[in-house]
């Protein structure tokens, strides 16, 4: 697309990054199922490997299909560039990789997906990194957790599993004052409901597996760079500000400016970690994004209706959906998530753990799977599955206690979904 008019979201989700294939005229982005690319000559190859010219070398690094997806997600998020990779978990490691080093830490929200809590509390220790978990609604606690070795603040825009909405602007102000980036996982909101960069985030990560693809077919991840952070303002980020030995002393921030993080993610991150997105996965995600706004509107409409029904049901203790008038986050939704609070939330079933298990087993339309963001409605009992590895205290802090189920509301007929929940609740609480 040209740099002329400013296009709306519905137009960009179809066209951003994509052009008719120059070789065939194909209108849909082709799947470039190739490992490597022929160089024009020896000088061209050398220029590519020296980062003096942009182009395709090897599909672990760059691929034309994946490149279209990167440009599209970056455009929708309001970033300058993006790096796609093999999964949402890969995106988290890729986001931290240029920032961290042995002895460094990240301040992370307690309200995160259980797998992320495990990755941050256990796995990253193998790199010599660590995480401090705090309630990001308590800004004093966030400030108190930051020390000289802190390299980032990490949160989810709409937190999994409870659907809590984060005050991104407030966290960004804390991060700015400390001279560190704010990383926001925007998987549950998508750029249609919230653009964290507009509220001060430095980096945005996605599990493209979820709402962006929307059909439960492929896994993928993405890191979007705002291009607004000064990586050379202090000595905290030497990977981006200091000479890189593998590229003859090139300084990424000095050389690439706002695109420093993006180029590092490809030239170092994908080169050495190899967390590559395959072109077929990129193709499926591109097709999914074409209908993102339409799907998110229905997701939100259905979630609003079903959450209200559940809240009024005597068999339910409480519902955590931030879009309800009773939610303590309703004002935050209006200011930072004006198109809605998403379609992910939890509710507590009277009868506790056993009633939750019965409920899950009795549902007919809802699918019992470890996923979210599908066109289909999904349910899971987090305490016995996605958050099973956490302590009881961590489960409660994450909003995944034993008497709670998580739902990801799909785009089916809302009345059918309510009827399914009604009959399952009857069996679960009999």
In this prediction, residue 5 has a pLDDT band, given cuts at 50, 70 and 90, of low
Evaluate the omega torsion of the peptide bond into residue 161 and state whether it is cis, within 30 degrees of 0.
Answer: yes
In this prediction, residue 425 has a pLDDT band, given cuts at 50, 70 and 90, of very high
Kindly report, residue by residue over 67-109, the tens digit of the pLDDT. 999 999 999 999 999 999 999 999 999 999 999 999 999 999 9
CB 270 within 8 A of CB 263: no
Domain 292-428 matching CATH 3.30.420.10: the answer reads: no
Mean pLDDT across the chain, nearest whole number? 95
CATH classification (class only), 9-288: alpha beta
pLDDT of 388 reads 75
pLDDT of 398 reads 74
Kindly report, residue by residue over 200-242, the tens digit of the pLDDT. 999 999 999 999 999 999 999 999 999 999 999 999 999 999 9
pLDDT of 395 reads 79
Kindly report, residue by residue over 286-311, the tens digit of the pLDDT. 999 999 999 999 999 999 999 999 99
User: Is-same-fold flag (9-288; 292-428)?
Assistant: no
CB 71 within 8 A of CB 16: yes
Burial (Cβ within 10 Å: 0-12, 13-18, ≥19) of residue 177 = exposed
CB 188 within 8 A of CB 372: yes
Burial (Cβ within 10 Å: 0-12, 13-18, ≥19) of residue 269 = buried
- Residue 160 reports pLDDT greater than 70: yes
Q: Parse the chain into domains and list their residue ranges.
A: 9-288, 292-428
DSSP string, 231-275: TTSSSS-HHHHS-BGGGTTB-HHHHHGGGHHHHHIIIIIIHHH--
Helix, strand or coil for residue 334? helix
pLDDT of 3 reads 52
Helix, strand or coil for residue 205? strand
- Residue 364 reports pLDDT greater than 70: yes
């Amino acid at each position: 697309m040209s740099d002329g008019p400013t296009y709306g979201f519905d137009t960009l989700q179809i066209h951003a990054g994509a052009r008719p294939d120059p070789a065939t005229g194909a209108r849909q982005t082709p799947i470039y199922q190739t490992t490597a690319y022929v160089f024009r000559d020896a000088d061209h190859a050398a220029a590519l490997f020296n980062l003096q010219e942009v182009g395709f070398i090897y599909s672990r690094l760059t691929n034309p299909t994946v490149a279209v997806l990167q440009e599209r997600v970056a455009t929708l998020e309001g970033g300058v560039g993006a790096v796609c990779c093999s999964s949402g978990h890969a995106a988290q490691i890729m986001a931290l990789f240029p920032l961290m080093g042995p002895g460094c830490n990240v301040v992370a929200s307690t309200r995160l997906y259980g797998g992320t809590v495990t990755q941050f509390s256990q796995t990253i220790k193998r790199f010599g990194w660590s995480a401090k978990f705090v309630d990001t609604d308590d800004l004093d606690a966030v400030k108190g957790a930051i020390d000289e070795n802190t390299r980032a603040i990490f949160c989810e825009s709409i937190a999994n599993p409870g659907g809590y909405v984060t005050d991104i602007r407030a966290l960004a102000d804390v991060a700015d004052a400390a001279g560190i980036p704010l990383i926001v996982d925007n998987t549950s909101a998508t750029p249609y409901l919230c653009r964290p960069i507009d509220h001060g985030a430095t980096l945005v990560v996605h599990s493209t597996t979820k709402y962006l693809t929307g059909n439960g077919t492929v896994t993928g991840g993405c890191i979007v760079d705002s291009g607004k952070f000064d990586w050379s303002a202090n000595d905290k980020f030497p990977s981006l500000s200091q000479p890189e030995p593998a590229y003859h002393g090139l300084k990424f921030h000095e050389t690439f400016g706002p695109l420093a993080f993006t180029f590092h993610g490809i030239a170092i991150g994908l080169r050495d970690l190899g967390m590559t997105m395959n072109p077929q996965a990129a193709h499926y995600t591109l097709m999914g994004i074409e209908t993102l706004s339409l799907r998110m509107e229905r997701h939100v409409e259905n979630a609003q209706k079903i959450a209200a029904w559940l809240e009024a049901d005597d068999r339910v203790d409480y519902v955590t959906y931030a879009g309800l008038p009773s939610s303590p986050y309703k004002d935050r939704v209006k200011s930072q998530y004006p198109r809605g609070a998403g379609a992910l939330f939890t509710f507590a079933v009277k009868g506790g753990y056993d009633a939750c298990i019965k409920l899950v087993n009795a549902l007919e339309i809802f699918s019992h799977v470890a996923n979210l963001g599908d066109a289909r409605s999904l349910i899971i009992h987090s305490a016995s599955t996605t958050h099973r590895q956490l302590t009881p205290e961590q489960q409660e802090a994450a909003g995944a206690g034993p008497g709670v189920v998580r739902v990801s509301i799909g785009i089916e007929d809302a009345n059918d979904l309510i009827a399914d929940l009604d009959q399952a609740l009857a069996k679960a609480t009999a």
